[in-house]
Amino acid sequence: MMRWILPILCVCLLPFAADAKQLEVFPNALTLELKPVDFDQVESTPGFLQIRIDTKLLRGSRWRVSLELALPLTSAGRTFRAESLSWTAQPPFVSRNLLPNQRVIVGEGPIDGRTVEGRLVWRAGGGAPSAAMFRGRVMVILEELP
Amino acid sequence: MGESARISILARCRHVPALGLLMGLFCLPMDLYAQGRVVAQEPLDIVIMAASHLSLRIGTTGGTIDRVSFTVAQLPGSGAVAGVSSGAYPVPVRASSTPSGATKVLTADSSTPLNDGFGHTIPFTQISWTGAGGVPSGTFTGSSNQQIWTGTASLGSGATMSFFYANTVYVPPGTYSGRVTYTLSSP
């Protein structure tokens, strides 16, 4: 009898174990539409990104979330400047902009068993090099610090 | 005082190699760890939609249509009369596009002459302008599609037009009004 309990328990707990994630990002795609706000200024519609960190599943003393441009925003050989893509956020996350070849820290905090949640409001600004649809990819990276 | 301090430092230095070795043994993995250990990564796809657009402003911002007036107190042939605007003067001209380097053409429709409401008219060919900041100077032709300017750059701050009435035709006294419509297009 006892020899059946452990496998059954494992099978029952497997879906919960699979669902448990240290980092959740929603949605996983943002579309920002550039619109002229003045003659020399173009600004996009906002894009909202929710980030959730479950520190119960982390080791060490501090967590850190960074963003890194994995695929540059391009369209037919033209590139949209990474620096022109920025976000605003509330603590523990910070407002910054992307950088082309650099991991940008979005937030940092203690690993204390609490769930950290925040929203980044994204905007694209500056001028587009051409009228086109620029596509790229950013990686949201969660790190444990000792 | 200085000598004793030097001796003290030297004395400490003797322990440095041993201490460094000991620290190194324990700290090397910790130092690597201090840079952060990536535990999770999530991709975020970003799409930026940049539609092409043209922006044009002649005169004051907003929906106001500026009025340039010429008060003619002299007989025809006695010289041009400078205009006075209800808005900023010289009249500002702003033109831009996305993409910023697109070819832009600014045209004017002055085909409807100025009139006094009693059947008397003054052709727009009587009105000229002096351009600045990239706007060329010229005279209205009275046509519906007169090219005023073309270029790939934008017309920014400093681009203006100052208007003049030639005052070379005899017309009955009165107030003559007309409207010129500017259009910015990209071929």
CATH label, A21-145, candidates 3.40.50.300, 2.60.40.1090, 3.30.160.20, 3.10.450.50? 2.60.40.1090
Partner A, chain B 96-155, Cβ-Cβ below 8 Å? 96, 98-100, 154
B21: in domain: no
The amino acid sitting at A111 is I
Residue B21 has pLDDT above 90, yes or no: no
Query: Residue B163 belongs to what domain range?
Result: 53-185
Full-model pTM: 0.62
B44: closest CA of chain A, how far (Å): 5
pLDDT in tens, A23-82: 999 999 999 988 877 766 778 889 999 999 999 888 888 999 999 999 999 988 888 889
pLDDT band at residue B161 using 50, 70 and 90 as cut-offs: very high
- Write the ipTM: 0.84
- CB contact under 8 Å between B46 and A30, yes or no, is yes
pLDDT digits (tens, 9 = 90+) for B103-120: 999 999 999 999 999 999
Q: Which of residues 24-53 of A touch B (CB under 8 A)?
A: 24-25, 28-36, 39-40, 42, 44, 47, 49
Predicted confidence (pLDDT) per residue in B8-17, tens digit: 333 343 444 4
Residue among B37, B38, B48 whose CB faces A32 most closely: B48
Is there a domain that residue B180 lies in?
A: yes
Per-residue three-class SS string for chain A: CHHHHHHHHHHHHHHHHHHCCCEEEECCEEEEEEEEEECCEEEECCEEEEEEEEHHHCCCCEEEEEEEEEEEEEECCEECCHHHEEEECCCCECCEECCCCCCEEEEEEECCCCEEEEEEEEEECCCCCCCCEEEEEEEEEEEEEC
Tally of structural domains, chain B: 1
Please answer yes or no on whether A30 and B43 come within 8 Å at the CB atom: no
Q: Is residue B100 part of a domain?
A: yes
Q: Is B42 on the interface with A (CB under 8 A)?
A: yes
Task: Grade residue A18 by pLDDT with cuts at 50, 70 and 90.
Answer: very low
Tokens of A10: 């494992």
- Which candidate in A21, A38, A39, A104 is best for mutational testing of the B interface (most B CBs within 10 A)? A39
Answer yes or no: is B38 within a domain.
Answer: no
Whether B45 has its CB under 8 Å from any CB of chain A: the answer is yes
In a domain, B41, yes or no: no
Asked if residue B67 belongs to a domain, the reply is yes
